Structure 1
Amino acid sequence: MGSKAPNWADQWGAGGCGSDSDNEQVKKQGGGGGKMANAKAKASAGMDKAKAAAVVGADKAKEAAVVGAMKLKSGTSAGLKWMKNQYRKRTSPSE
């Protein structure tokens, strides 16, 4: 049991890998306020493009649904007319 790896308390306890002192050092080194603003601006621009694409896609989907519904309605109508004609042919007295 002579492991040289740090135990759980050393890693996560006071002064370990995830301690507040490590986070403070990263904050002091990085700063990066401008970087975050640039990243947010780029993400916002990307989101605007995605929204525009979604609107175009939604319009296309709506148009396809309308066309599909019209085809379904006309096909159903034609099918019912055909069935009525077939029924009339069978039930009408032949002369």
Structure 2
Amino acid sequence: MGSKDDAPTWADQWGSGDNGSLKRAGGNGSSINAKADKKTVTGNVKAAASEGFIKAKAAALVGAQKVKSGTSSGIKWVKEQYQKRTSK
């Protein structure tokens, strides 16, 4: 069995955490990373919003088609009922 000193540390196993993802603005070049991260987040939010808009638009189109067909069939029914009464 190895000693405690031979075992890898948590940082060795999972990374030290200094990969630039947690850098704060205002350091050596870190503001560039922060801006790039912000643009990436903004791009992701815009993409998600765009997908949501596309889905909402498709749902609205389907709903509008249902309303249109329902209205059309309703008007036809009313016309038929009127013609039945006037033809007697």
Same fold per TM (> 0.5)?
yes
* Aligned positions, number: 63
69, 76, 79: which one pairs with 2:71? 76
Deviation at 1:55, TM superposition (A): 1.7
Counterpart of 2:80? 85
Deviation at 1:45, TM superposition (A): 0.9
Counterpart of 1:66? 61
- What is the distance in 1 between the residues matched to 2:52 and 2:61? 14
TM-score by length of 1: 0.59
Deviation at 1:67, TM superposition (A): 0.4
Counterpart of 1:42? 37
Residue type at the aligned position of 2:87: S
Aligned-CA RMSD value: 1.5
Percent of pairs with identical residues? 57
Q: How does 1:4-15 map to 2 (within 5 A)?
A: none
- What is the distance in 2 between the residues matched to 1:90 and 1:39? 75
**Bigger radius of gyration among the two:** 1
Per residue, is there more helix in 1 or in 2? 1
Deviation at 1:33, TM superposition (A): 4.7
Q: Which runs of 5+ in 1 are unaligned?
A: 1-30
50, 53, 68: which one pairs with 2:48? 53
SS of aligned partner of 2:75: helix
